[in-house]
Amino acid sequence: MLRDGFEGAAAGPTNDADASRFLAQATFGPTDADIAHLRAIGYQAWLNEQFAAPPTFEMDYLDWVGNTLHEQVGHQNRREAWFLAALGGPDPANNALIHTDQLRQRMAFALSEILVVSDQNAQLAEFPESIAYYYDILVANAFGNYRALLEQVTLSPAMGTYLNMRGNQRADPTRNIHPDENYAREINQLFSIGLVMLKPDGTPQLDAGGHPIPTYSQATISAFAHVFTGWNWYDCDDNGFDNFTDCGPDYTTGENWLHPMAPYDQPNHPRNGDPSYHDNGTGPNDMHAKQLLVYPGAQAGGVLADGGSAASDLQFALDNIYGHPNVGPFIARQLIQRLVTSNPSPAYVKRVADVFNANRTSPNQLRAVAQAILLDPEARYGHLYSDKYGKLREPLIALTHFWRAMDARHTCGRNFTQGTVQYHYANQPYRYAGYSTAWGTDDDQYGSGVAQAPMNAFSVFNFFKPSYLPPGEMTQGNLVGPEFQLQTESVIANTANSVEGRAFYFDVARVCDAGDDFGEVKVNHAKDLALAGSGSGGAADPADRLVDAYNKRFMSGQMSPFMRQTLLTYLNRINSSWTEGVSDWRLWRIHTALYLIFNSPEYMVQK
């Protein structure tokens, strides 16, 4: 309270615990080196470093895999690319290139859970480059302008495929063709304004009867559906004749996934006789004078005039959505939830939404928003003011935290040829591969999965809804807990088992199996031997240094006295007689401490 009151939240960090908390919100997990660096330079200088850090792109990695290593590119490589960006560090293609863009990647991951596409879609599952190209849009725009991002997302082939805008065409009742409403609905409901009118602080506006006011009607969605017509792959017409209704993905190169969709509304394409597939209000079955969103200040009252092109009508529609007063608080609240706390106060939401709105035309809008979220007093000190503060850690972010803090590297694997395909996994510490560790994180019943993998959400509603109310006390207190939606009984049990494997067995020092083709991601337990003990163990050689180091590294100094003493009581039983399966008894202390901490409620709830 004194630091906040006299110096301001942005003045720190004043201790290691504050630094670790900040990094838990702004990165994929604190490391000892990151904590020391942040302490040395302060919040603002660290943010400036992050804003200047070169972006890490998934397509660069897939290009290396396919065109340099000449491997067959699959979704497992896309997951390797995601972990490379999330964990940071040297690039496997060039070890001198160090990936440091943690905040950009954390923002991109947050955006991927708002602007959702998923490789669970059957066609996207066939083309890993479709998802990689889409994710790189989020990475490139993570500090950019939300209106610009919304347009690039709208025109991406991955989103066009996922929500059916690609190939959507103007109505023709004689052929039973009607504009698809899928994207029209989700761009409003999930990507921009939500279902009900909001106050600037994100709380619902109510009518005279005390009921929430809807943001739009079914008629509004129908109008948007007619606007979002006439777009398809960029190359449907490059052979000189109309191919709109019989144009598909390039199964040879996947190239047409890597370009924005193009409009097909004559005369914009080579053959002048091509029909227009876009409803611009002038055709016999078109919707005339389309009424889009209505709100104070909406251009032309939200009415789209007839006679435009697919491109100009799209611009009007996106401007209409982006201009809605809900966008600021709607997006601000979700970004706060993804980075900081599940139940931000209305005042916190309003402060961030105000920054969003003040930067509506800025090319660095989301950069300002990210800084506002992380330097807000509620982000820095909210855990001291409220017992309702914090969020359940996402399983995938808990995993990256574990790996980053324990110096994870890929080990084992070999170079071999399978059929005509070559694979190169020998001596590749920065290729984060492996069936049990990196590739199979979406497994929710067996193996080492944690029920979550990047760009693998169950539906357009993400892995969890931002409004999810866990049953019991949280529902009674009207407290949302989005990540709890993933925590089924089987997932909790499987996660505990997967943590056991990572805490005990996946160690870089283990001898490789000659038949291990792809290797696994493993951690360096031995880095903490000196912390685990200096003698023979037992109560006379306590584990307090280890517990205190892990308290800083994993729990931001927030471990309760009860938990600390409980851990010490158990760990201090371990002594030099514990030799089974280890080269040094102290590894038992390290393994056990990691296992107990990562399965503890105190760790899993990030405060």
| pLDDT 10s digits, 392-430 | 999 999 999 999 999 999 999 999 998 888 999 999 999
Confidence of residue 2 (pLDDT cuts 50, 70, 90): low
pLDDT of res. 489: 85
pLDDT tens digit string along 501-525? 888 889 999 999 988 999 999 999 9
pLDDT of res. 565: 98
The phi, psi pair for 520, rounded to 5°, reads -145, 165
pLDDT tens digit string along 389-399? 999 999 999 99
Cα→Cα distances 478→305, 462, 481, 601, Å: 44, 21, 10, 20
Check if the beta carbon of residue 160 is closer than 8 Å to that of residue 178: no
pLDDT of res. 501: 85
Nearest to 119 by CA among 456, 358, 518: 456
pLDDT of res. 433: 97
- Residue carrying the six token digits 């505990």: 496
How many DSSP H helices and E strands does the chain contain? 26, 12
Those residues with Cβ within 8 angstroms of residue 290's Cβ, 6 or more apart along the chain or in another chain: 223, 224, 226, 227, 281, 303, 304
Does the pLDDT value for residue 306 go beyond 60?
A: yes
Does the pLDDT value for residue 151 go beyond 70?
A: yes
Query: What residues pair up with 523 in beta bridges, in sequence order?
Result: 507
Nearest to 34 by CA among 604, 552, 430: 552
Does the pLDDT value for residue 180 go beyond 90?
A: yes
Token digits for 425?
């996994």
Query: d(Cα 582, Cα 86) in Å, to the nearest integer?
Result: 30
Check if the beta carbon of residue 162 is closer than 8 Å to that of residue 121: yes
Q: How far is CA 330 from the centre of its chain?
A: 17
**Bond before 13 cis per omega within 30 degrees:** yes
**What average pLDDT does this structure show over 530-555?**
97
Confidence of residue 191 (pLDDT cuts 50, 70, 90): very high
**What average pLDDT does this structure show over 180-198?**
98
pLDDT of res. 9: 77
Those residues with Cβ within 8 angstroms of residue 570's Cβ, 6 or more apart along the chain or in another chain: 592, 596
* Percent residues over pLDDT 70 in the chain: 97
**What average pLDDT does this structure show over 453-458?**
96
- Residue carrying the six token digits 């180091």: 549
DSSP class per residue in 452-496: --TT--SSTT-SS-TT---TTHHHHTT---GGGGG--HHHHHHHH
More confident residue, 123 or 12: 123
Does the pLDDT value for residue 166 go beyond 70?
A: yes
Confidence of residue 488 (pLDDT cuts 50, 70, 90): confident
Confidence of residue 542 (pLDDT cuts 50, 70, 90): very high
Confidence of residue 454 (pLDDT cuts 50, 70, 90): very high
pLDDT of res. 272: 55
Confidence of residue 492 (pLDDT cuts 50, 70, 90): confident
- E-strand stretches of 520-604: 520-522
Interhelix angle 561-571/586-598, nearest 10 degrees: 150
Q: How would you class 599 by CB atoms within 10 Å of its CB: exposed for 0-12, middle for 13-18, buried for 19 or more?
A: middle
Does the pLDDT value for residue 240 go beyond 60?
A: no
**What average pLDDT does this structure show over 98-108?**
98
Confidence of residue 246 (pLDDT cuts 50, 70, 90): confident
pLDDT of res. 5: 52
Burial 477-513 (b: 16+ CB within 10 A, else e): eeebbbbbbbbeeebeebbeebbbebbbebbbeeeee
pLDDT of res. 499: 85
Does the pLDDT value for residue 258 go beyond 90?
A: yes
**What average pLDDT does this structure show over 437-465?**
90
Those residues with Cβ within 8 angstroms of residue 563's Cβ, 6 or more apart along the chain or in another chain: 600, 602
Query: d(Cα 104, Cα 142) in Å, to the nearest integer?
Result: 6
Those residues with Cβ within 8 angstroms of residue 341's Cβ, 6 or more apart along the chain or in another chain: 378, 379, 382, 389, 390, 391
Those residues with Cβ within 8 angstroms of residue 489's Cβ, 6 or more apart along the chain or in another chain: none
Computed over every residue of the chain, the mean pLDDT equals 94
Confidence of residue 273 (pLDDT cuts 50, 70, 90): low
pLDDT of res. 502: 85
pLDDT of res. 241: 61
Measure the N-to-C terminal CA separation of the chain; round to a whole number of Å. 16
Does the pLDDT value for residue 271 go beyond 70?
A: no
pLDDT of res. 82: 98
Does the pLDDT value for residue 475 go beyond 80?
A: yes
